[in-house]
Amino acid sequence: MKTFSLEQIAQVAGGMLTKAKDVAITKIAPPLLADENTLALALGEDEITNLSKTKAQAALVPLGVNIDGFSTIEVERPRLAMMKLITMFYEEPNVNSGIHPTATIASTAKIGQNVSLGANVVIAEHAIIGDNTKILANGYVGNGAKIGSDCFFHPGVNIGDRVQVGNKVILHHGVSLGADGFSFVTENPNNIEQARKDGEIKEGNTEQVIFKIPSIGSVIIGNNVEIGANTCIDRGTIENTIVGDNTKIDNLVMIGHNCRIGKGCMIVSQVGIAGSCVIGDRVVIAGQAGLADHISIGDDTIIAAQAGVSKSFPAKSIVVGSPAVPRKEFIKQLKILKDAGDLISKFKKYEPLLKSFEEGVNEGVNEGVTEAATTKV
């Protein structure tokens, strides 16, 4: 069990310690789950309020929060400090040292220094594994693939032929890099091509052979990239699919063939990026957003959750909705909808008066017609 003093924790967190008493810290937790040897993480107002109910004797708090009789470590950026503390207490998965007896390594493969390969790992012909890299059970590295140094692959990772992975890359369970792209063609124009060209489908019910377009490109992953569980990144059709340095990708993300993802991007769970998209640097794509093929997203853009992005956007855009539009335009649309709702409510309120007025007008017209007819006779 890891144990730290408050002084050690304050130094790592970069915080200011106000110590009421000495406490040996063995774990960190929210206030309501903390015991006497826990550092309570009171990062927001609710957690600070819960300190009155905690068993903990020490807490990590935002700058300016000081509680009498309580040891506190005040920090300017609580979430950043939390990351540093979690790193202190984190224990890496159990990894066998060296090469497991059941691992299979092709004779032409090159294995670096201090590499760990788990049970049933397969390293194919001419693959290269860099120094200090760890590949856990049931991993596969394809023909001619190149893996950098200090990488960590969780169980069940599949690396296709000729894929290149940089240094210090983390791949979680079930990641697939380098499967064929979803590329097909028909002998004659199909419905999709007609719809794109003419805006309508003129013909249908015609059976056509769908030919697969093989993918002869590859996938290149930069340095210090992390990719979440069961995420799939397809190889390019001719050119390579590329993910830039320092980009972080969540679980269950799909990135299509020929895409180019910039540096320092954050791509959240269940995002789908269709083929040949170009994503700039430091772009954030929130959960379940979908991007159509062949569009470009500029640097520092934020795409909101569940956005349906069907066109390109320039740098520093904030994109919302489906179909996606700039945030200001989306807010304007919401206001129009609200105003329309108010108008409908007012109309319903005065609808009886309107009907009464119309009936009165109709009666007057009828009376006038009758009177005119009588006078004529």
Looking up residue 65, the CATH number of its domain turns out to be 3.40.1390.10
**Statement to judge: residues 319 and 367 lie in one domain:** no
* Residue at 373 is within a domain: yes
Q: What is the pLDDT of residues 14-52, one digit of tens each?
A: 999 998 888 999 999 999 999 999 999 999 999 999 999
Q: What is the pLDDT of residues 239-289, one digit of tens each?
A: 999 999 999 999 999 999 999 999 999 999 999 999 999 999 999 999 999
3-state secondary structure of 29: strand
Distance from C-alpha of 180 to C-alpha of 176, rounded to nearest angstrom: 11
Which amino acid, residue 202? Answer: K
What are the φ/ψ torsions at residue 233 (nearest 5 degrees)?
-125, 115
Strands 164-165 and 146-147 turn out to be parallel
CATH of the domain at 265: 2.160.10.10
CB 93 within 8 A of CB 110: no
Distance from C-alpha of 261 to C-alpha of 245, rounded to nearest angstrom: 9
CB 146 within 8 A of CB 164: yes
User: Which of 326, 345, 360 finishes a domain?
Assistant: 326
Distance from C-alpha of 147 to C-alpha of 127, rounded to nearest angstrom: 8
Overall number of domains in the chain: 3
3-state secondary structure of 318: strand
- The per-residue pLDDT for 260 is 98
**Statement to judge: residues 299 and 347 lie in one domain:** no
* Residue at 62 is within a domain: yes
Q: Torsion angle, CA of 218/221/226/228, rounded to 10 degrees?
A: -10
**Statement to judge: residues 134 and 238 lie in one domain:** yes
**Statement to judge: residues 298 and 169 lie in one domain:** yes
- H or E element at residue 185: strand 184-186
Distance from C-alpha of 297 to C-alpha of 33, rounded to nearest angstrom: 43
Which residues is 25 bridged to in the sheet?
A: 4
User: Which of 326, 352, 367 finishes a domain?
Assistant: 326
How far CA 293 is from CA of 201, 270, 297, in Å, comes to 20, 17, 11
* Residue at 236 is within a domain: yes
Q: What is the pLDDT of residues 298-309, one digit of tens each?
A: 999 999 999 999
Q: Determine the average pLDDT of the residues in 90-104.
A: 89
**Statement to judge: residues 111 and 167 lie in one domain:** yes
- H or E element at residue 18: strand 16-18
* Residue at 113 is within a domain: yes
Q: In what order do the strands lie in the sheet with 122-123?
A: 104-105, 122-123, 140-141, 158-159, 176-179, 232-234, 254-255, 272-273, 290-291, 308-309
* Residue at 169 is within a domain: yes
Q: Torsion angle, CA of 329/331/333/338, rounded to 10 degrees?
A: -160
Pick left, alpha or beta for residue 33 (phi over 0 → left; psi -120 to 50 → alpha; otherwise beta). alpha
Q: Any idea what the Cα angle at residue 222 is, between residues 219 and 223, rounded to 5°?
A: 145
Q: What is the pLDDT of residues 279-330, one digit of tens each?
A: 999 999 999 999 999 999 999 999 999 999 999 999 999 999 999 999 888 8
* Residue at 331 is within a domain: no
Torsional sign, CA 126, 127, 131, 132: negative
**Statement to judge: residues 203 and 312 lie in one domain:** yes
Which amino acid, residue 49? Answer: T
**Statement to judge: residues 35 and 84 lie in one domain:** yes
| Average pLDDT across the chain, whole number | 91
* Residue at 1 is within a domain: no
User: Which of 65, 89, 113 finishes a domain?
Assistant: 89
| Residue % of the chain over a pLDDT of 70 | 94
Model confidence at 54: pLDDT above 70: yes
**Statement to judge: residues 277 and 213 lie in one domain:** yes
**Statement to judge: residues 109 and 72 lie in one domain:** no
**Confidence category of residue 59, pLDDT binned at 50, 70, 90:** very high
* Alpha helix ranges (H) inside 61-165: 78-89
Distance from C-alpha of 340 to C-alpha of 321, rounded to nearest angstrom: 19
* Residue at 111 is within a domain: yes
Which pTM was predicted? 0.83
**Statement to judge: residues 168 and 292 lie in one domain:** yes
Active site residues: 257
Pick left, alpha or beta for residue 305 (phi over 0 → left; psi -120 to 50 → alpha; otherwise beta). beta
**Statement to judge: residues 341 and 321 lie in one domain:** no
**Statement to judge: residues 234 and 279 lie in one domain:** yes
**Structural domain boundaries enclosing 171:** 104-326
